[in-house]
Structure 1
Amino acid sequence: MSEDKSTSTHFGYKTVEQEKKADLVADVFHSVAAKYDIMNDVMSFGVHRLWKRLTIETAGARPGMKVLDLAGGTGDLTAKFSQLVGDKGEVVLADINDSMLKVGRAKLRDRGIVSNVKYVQANAEALPFPDNHFDIITIAFGLRNVTDKDAALRSMRRVLKPGGKLLVLEFSKPQHEIMRKVYDTYSFKIIPKMGQLITQDADSYEYLAESIRVHPDQETLKQMMIDAGLEQVEYTNMTDGVVALHKGYKF
């Protein structure tokens, strides 16, 4: 009998009921929140900072703009956007996971970033913001954890202003066979061991590696963004497509 796609979804390589995925993902990020930044640096050898820098540059944030850093976690993008939009602008750091939000809020407040940042616990599939509200939305390494990605993309488009820009930074599919083999070995053999060593949680990092493999590839995600009503959609591969930055506009 074929799987009932209306009630099931991926959780890594496992198939689970849709309504259970959010709780399962939440458990992963509750577990890793405290060491999330350290693991990002270790797993990517610091290269995640370059990926995020390109995202910031592509966003083109200017003074006075409203920015939504969705699935913003510990606030790396929010910190930079806060500087760029200034006192007359606004940055909303939104995440479905309260543990990640708490870590992000504490980190940013320790850095003195308080005046133009708001914190909102929110589900990307049903964003609690008005229509036509944000100039820029970014979602970095978060879309693959969303249960209904199509609903999330439509929700993001809804809250963008006309002329607004959505940027999706996400792990994707390496373009060359040698890179794919190296990346698979690293993801499934090395990263869980790092997770065990640093966070005492290998299982969560096994899930994160699996979630990357079942995430839509570059062209599939591009079409999903178009189907959600975004226009001029294009993407840039980084590190041979290990990561891709997708960009689309609302007109």
Structure 2
Amino acid sequence: MAQAIAPATVGDSEFDRDTAVTLRAPGVYDARLSAGWTIINAVNGGYLLALVGRALADALPHSDPFSVTAHYLTASQPGPAVIRTETVRTGRTLSTGQASLFQYAEDGSEVERLRVLASYGDLGSLTDEVRTSARPPELPPVEQCLGADDAPGPSVIPGSNAITGRLMLKMDPATLGWALGAPSGKGEVRAWFGLSDGRDADPLSLLLAVDALPPTAFDLGVKGWVPTVELTVHVRCRPAPGPLRVQIATRNLAGGFLEEDAEVWDSAGRLVAQSRQLARVPGR
């Protein structure tokens, strides 16, 4: 049976504390990348996107991410960082901005980690009309899915797994063959997703959700770190309270790179976020 977790309110959650930014000067924000969101060799890309997304929400006249594209330039490490934002355009419905996250080299110079271009708006102003052929993934009940605590031995993922302590991630057993040395070869991963302290999802945490599951490369039999090169997220509506269903799939690994398409569904059965990323496969 899944453990009941008292919900955390927005602002009291570890996610909110670890994505906090402090305005230093117009358009310039100080931040600290938490070691709690690391996986294998680096800070998780979805967490980084949420952190930069929070700075843009403060810098732009609109507060909700609609479309966010990030290019990951160098691997981020826990520690201080600075985010520099720029307003590209403001309109009545949408505002567009760009931002870069920098960390400091040993000589004190700034090293750019990722660069983001995003459009923000007001998700609350959207109509309720939906015309779609998309369907939410069919997952077993949460209590029949498997999390990090259910593993029979040490993690099969080398390096840091600190991020698993921040997440309520319950994997569909049908997509976990790779963890037992028997990947299906289909390139599919599905899971229930939430934050471990019970904080309900919002548009910023959706930027994390699309990049929080094990990479689909594992289900293809590929081992090791699969760094993101580019990630685009479309946030479609504000998620209802409750756990999210996330499915990620790849159809093409070629030339040492693969794409991952993600869908995030809320407890009301609505498609609340979509993403596509390009990732580099180790050893190729």
TM over 0.5: no
Q: Based on CA coordinates, which of the two structures has the bigger radius of gyration?
A: 2
Query: Whose strand fraction is larger, Structure 1's or Structure 2's?
Result: 2
